[in-house]
Homo-oligomer: A and B are copies of this chain.
């Protein structure tokens, strides 16, 4: 076992890399939500000037990538690696967004956990001395996701109360070996957990066991307790999944209710925005991290954050074939103090 590895699934970074910039681009509905003042750009055109929603998603992600490079005050050519993926079949949101970037590219598929996966890999590359600067990004688009995973938009299918609303949004981060923080200090990489849930309209319930598994392992591996964090933020369990994970921890005698937030509940007002159980999609946790969670840290309100993005690793075909929903959750600890 290497010295950087502690417990079962966690690595401690020796020279914690700094997130030096984050950027977010979202759609109109997200721009009307509680975080409306936090996003870098809100588009009122769901097509982002393009002729299809798939092209729109790529343009949105490309715009977000330009924004984050500008905010970090670096030329894209100074970025040594990009880690990116998305929900579209064959991850074409990312590949078409970045095809002109000229930057070495690692394509990822982690469903809605993608930002945590990309952030983990970018931090590990820098900590390991393989590069000094890397980008982590991802996107989702309500319309491209809806027609791929569910129904044609025109069909107007009814949505059950447990369903979540795919966020139209992109998030991007730039990490460097040196910077003012937040620093990536610990990474707990998730294993796939399949609790047997088969209802593709209840992703929160399907993903909650994976989030519980990773968070529990993180606490065991690090010896930390929930209250050692100013916030623990999952993404995206929504209202249903959040209740499930709180129940799991309650059975262990741990009350996380005051500290556990969820990106899917932060980005929308579930009372007024008709999103049922909350937001979802790769872009949800990515945009919330870039627009809201990181500024809470750099603004001095939070010193330590555990970001735990969750993904449902199914496809419409597996659901049609009667399969349950394998899920995953990757947790990344961020700290304003590099020597934590």
Contacts and interface: CB of A to CB of B under 8 A. Distances in A.
A74 B147 CA distance: 44
A227 interface: no
A83 B313 CA distance: 15
Given A55-B321, A314-B90, A130 B11 contact: yes
A28 to B, nearest CB: 23
Contacts of A106: 108, 110, 117, 120-121, 189
A323 to B, nearest CB: 7
- Contact-residue bracket for chain A: 35 or more
Copy number in this complex? 2
A101 B107 CA distance: 23
10 contacts: A2-B131, A4-B128, A4-B130, A5-B130, A54-B318, A90-B313, A90-B315, A100-B192, A121-B121, A128-B128
A326 interface: yes
A11 to B, nearest CB: 5
A3 interface: yes
A24 to B, nearest CB: 23
B5 A105 contact: no
Interface stretch (A91-99, A266-274, A291-299): A91-99
A315 to B, nearest CB: 4
A129 interface: yes
Interface in A253-302: none
B129 A92 contact: no
Given A95-B313, A326-B95, A189 B90 contact: no
